């Protein structure tokens, strides 16, 4: 290892001064599986003399135990810290490492190459200035190479190193290098990178890492470290002050401050700030930090702001300078990277997190998915794992946001599954939708409470769910007859009836079922507002859609009724002959047979098989007949 690059200073003070004066470059290594990302980072750490003697000793020991290079050192083990990574020889989680040269400090993120862990790759790329995209010289450009190139362009990385690795395994053949370089340049022509530099490497052998390799005399470009030392990065910086409030800091009755990290821009004591959602204005009195008060604060600094007057500010609010307000919108177009193995469906509700703001949201429309090999726009009714698609997103209430191109902190968000809390998608806002600016809720003079007083009873929605043939419609009809007899205003929304009119354009795929429930939940909400007691008799097989209906209608008025009839009983009844057809293979996606049914976990009422119809109706009528 005679070519190791030694970066040493004569004294500690000299070293610290040198470090303080260096700028920082953040980059990622990405690409397909087993193309040598971890080995490259290990080699960089080794060449930069960033390893202590005990780390070198541990690496030598681990190389004998886990290594894949025979008696040689396996540099990948410096980065692959998880037991599963070492056992499988792949990268699973993002690993960050730090090193420096005589010119720069570096933070490098080793990201996974496997499609299953694309979410981790996106996480690592989101804060990087540059990407090293590795290619195994034996395999050339693969689908995952294209996907990662496209993702790096999406998150705003403008500089790419195409590291054509494992040149030693192709005999340092120039023609192999030229072929891959040419193909890649053609592929990324439309991705608007500022620079793309191809370098022939052998991370394992050290070719062209810090010094030119004698094995590639035909290559006249920079070495990898030479390029990293000199590449000029123009970081995108927004000058608009944006401060998402993380929490209200109130240690005692005499202090009330708003803590968070400045997302962009800067603020000074005396500046007038605005709460984006409410429009309230106040002046900054103090900027408090752990190291004492400051006169100003800028991007990436964590501070607590105190204001000159008491205004309503809470977690999730966003502060700006009063003269530079942010846009509020509840509908926008975004590019979504789907990271979940369950399909993403239009109309299904997911939690959206943007800065410190959380709220229910849904994909209202999938405009197209992008073929990462051809960039073709393809029609799609749902989002599948690793899909990249342009979608319209709607949120339950307006959020403070910006476009990703202008302000990445307020232009990026994640989607979270409401039941598993898994991150299922990452999004970058392209622009607000015009209809969100032109469509406004109209305040009505007569309210639901007014109608309830006139009717003499509260409005309510009984949401009957259960398998086909379980008795939902029978109970709903009987309940309506009883409530009608008592003089209450009612209506039954039955699944079969609705599908003959309002929802006759929908089929029985999972996506269509989600849309079916979304529409009927909206109708039920309008009828609730009209003061009616509404009986909704739908199979509604998925918990997420029933929860969406509960959120839309309101927990105080929503009564989930689980008609818990076993499928064996339903099949015996089979009033429409559907089970017989499904068993004969004539009906695909039949709930309970080939389609999923998720029974309620905490229904307000369970209609057990042992209960008679009269008993069930009596108990439900008691729930309905509460004086407003």
Strands 388-401 and 558-563: unpaired
Q: Please tell me whether 33 is known to bind a ligand.
A: yes
The pLDDT of residue 51? 63
Q: Please tell me whether 156 is known to bind a ligand.
A: no
Cα(483)–Cα(477) distance, rounded to whole angstroms?
10
88 has a pLDDT exceeding 80: no
Strands 23-31 and 104-110: parallel
Average pLDDT for the chain: 85
| pLDDT confidence bin for 507, thresholds 50/70/90 | confident
- 90-149 confidence digits (pLDDT tens): 555 567 777 787 788 888 887 776 666 676 777 778 788 999 999 999 999 988 888 889
| pLDDT confidence bin for 438, thresholds 50/70/90 | low
564 has a pLDDT exceeding 70: yes
Q: Please tell me whether 112 is known to bind a ligand.
A: yes
The pLDDT of residue 20? 64
The pLDDT of residue 156? 85
Q: Please tell me whether 265 is known to bind a ligand.
A: no
Residue range 486-490: average pLDDT?
A: 94
The pLDDT of residue 5? 46
CA end-to-end span of the chain, whole Å?
83
Model confidence, pTM: 0.73
Choose the most confident range, by mean pLDDT, from 3-17, 118-132, 197-211, 477-491: 477-491
Cα(370)–Cα(362) distance, rounded to whole angstroms?
20
What percent of the chain has a predicted confidence (pLDDT) above 90?
Answer: 47
Residue with tokens 């909704």: 536
Residue with tokens 């204001």: 307
Which range has the worst mean pLDDT, 232-246, 381-395, 400-414, 600-614?
232-246
Cα(30)–Cα(18) distance, rounded to whole angstroms?
30
Provide the CB-side half-sphere exposure for 485 (13 A, CA).
9
Residue range 507-533: average pLDDT?
A: 91
Active site residue ranges = 540
The pLDDT of residue 3? 41
Strand positions, DSSP E, 538-622? 558-563, 605-607
Residue with tokens 């039941």: 419
What would you report as the CA-atom Rg of the chain, rounded to the nearest whole angstrom? 30
| pLDDT confidence bin for 628, thresholds 50/70/90 | very low
The pLDDT of residue 604? 95
- 297-341 confidence digits (pLDDT tens): 998 899 999 999 988 899 999 999 998 888 889 999 999 999 888
Residue range 372-396: average pLDDT?
A: 89
598 has a pLDDT exceeding 70: yes
Q: Please tell me whether 89 is known to bind a ligand.
A: no
Higher pLDDT, 577 or 293: 293
**Which run of H or of E encompasses 338?**
strand 327-338
């Amino acid at each position: 290892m005679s070519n190791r690059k030694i970066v040493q200073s004569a004294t500690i003070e000299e070293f610290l001064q040198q470090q303080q004066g260096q700028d920082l470059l953040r980059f990622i290594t990405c690409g397909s599986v087993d193309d040598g990302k971890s080995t490259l980072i290990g080699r960089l750490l080794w060449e930069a003399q960033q390893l202590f003697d005990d780390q070198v000793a541990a690496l030598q020991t681990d190389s004998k135990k886990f290594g894949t290079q025979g008696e040689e050192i396996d540099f990948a083990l410096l980065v692959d810290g998880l037991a599963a990574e070492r056992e499988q020889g792949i990268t699973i989680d993002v690993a960050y490492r730090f090193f420096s040269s005589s010119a720069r400090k570096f933070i490098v993120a080793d990201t996974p190459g496997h499609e299953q862990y694309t979410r981790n790759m996106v996480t690592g790329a989101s804060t990087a200035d540059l990407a090293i995209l590795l290619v195994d010289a034996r395999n050339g450009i693969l689908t995952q190479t294209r996907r990662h190139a496209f993702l790096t362009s999406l998150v705003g990385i403008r500089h790419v190193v195409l590291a054509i690795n494992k040149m030693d395994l192709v005999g340092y053949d120039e023609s192999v290098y030229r072929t891959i370089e040419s193909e890649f340049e053609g592929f990324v022509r439309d991705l608007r990178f500022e620079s793309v530099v191809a370098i022939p490497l052998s991370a394992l052998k050290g070719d062209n890492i810090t010094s030119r390799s004698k094995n590639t005399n035909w290559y006249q470009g920079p070495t990898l470290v030479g390029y990293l030392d000199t590449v000029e990065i123009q970081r995108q910086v927004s000058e608009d002050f944006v401060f998402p409030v993380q929490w209200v800091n109130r240690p005692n009755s005499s202090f009330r401050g708003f803590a968070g990290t400045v997302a962009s821009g800067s603020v000074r004591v005396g500046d007038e700030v605005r709460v984006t959602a409410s429009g309230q204005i106040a002046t900054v009195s103090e900027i408090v930090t752990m190291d004492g008060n400051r006169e100003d604060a800028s991007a990436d600094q964590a501070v607590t702001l105190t204001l000159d007057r008491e205004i309503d500010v809470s977690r999730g609010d966003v502060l700006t300078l009063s003269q530079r307000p942010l846009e509020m919108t509840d509908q926008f177009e975004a590019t979504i990277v789907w990271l979940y193995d369950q399909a993403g469906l239009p109309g299904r509700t997911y939690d959206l997190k943007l800065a410190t703001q959380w709220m229910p949201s849904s994909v209202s429309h999938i405009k197209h998915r992008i073929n990462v090999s051809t960039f073709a726009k393809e029609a799609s009714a749902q989002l599948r794992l690793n899909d990249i698609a342009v979608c319209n997103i709607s949120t339950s209430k307006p959020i403070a946001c910006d476009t990703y191109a202008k302000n990445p902190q307020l232009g990026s968000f994640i989607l979270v599954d409401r039941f598993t809390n898994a991150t299922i998608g990452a999004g970058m806002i392209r622009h607000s939708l015009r209809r969100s600016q032109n469509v406004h809720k109209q305040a009505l003079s007569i309210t639901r409470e007014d109608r309830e007083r006139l009717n003499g009873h509260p409005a309510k929605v009984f949401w009957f769910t259960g398998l086909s043939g379980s008795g939902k419609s029978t109970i709903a009809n009987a309940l309506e007859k009883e409530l009608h007899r008592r003089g209450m205003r009612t209506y039954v929304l039955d699944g079969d009836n609705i599908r003959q009119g309002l929802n006759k354009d929908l089929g029985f795929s999972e996506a269509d079922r989600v849309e079916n429930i979304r529409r009927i939940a909206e109708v039920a909400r309008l009828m609730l507002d009209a003061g009616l007691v509404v009986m909704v008799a739908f199979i509604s097989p998925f918990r997420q859609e029933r929860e969406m209906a509960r959120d839309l209608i309101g927990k105080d008025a929503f009564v989930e009724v689980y008609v818990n009839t076993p499928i064996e009983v339903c099949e015996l009844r089979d009033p429409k002959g559907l089970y017989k057809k499904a068993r004969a293979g004539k009906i695909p996606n039949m709930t309970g047979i080939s389609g999923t049914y998720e029974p309620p976990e905490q229904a307000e009422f369970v209609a057990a098989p042992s209960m008679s119809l009269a008993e069930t109706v009596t108990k439900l009528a008691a729930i309905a007949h509460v004086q407003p």
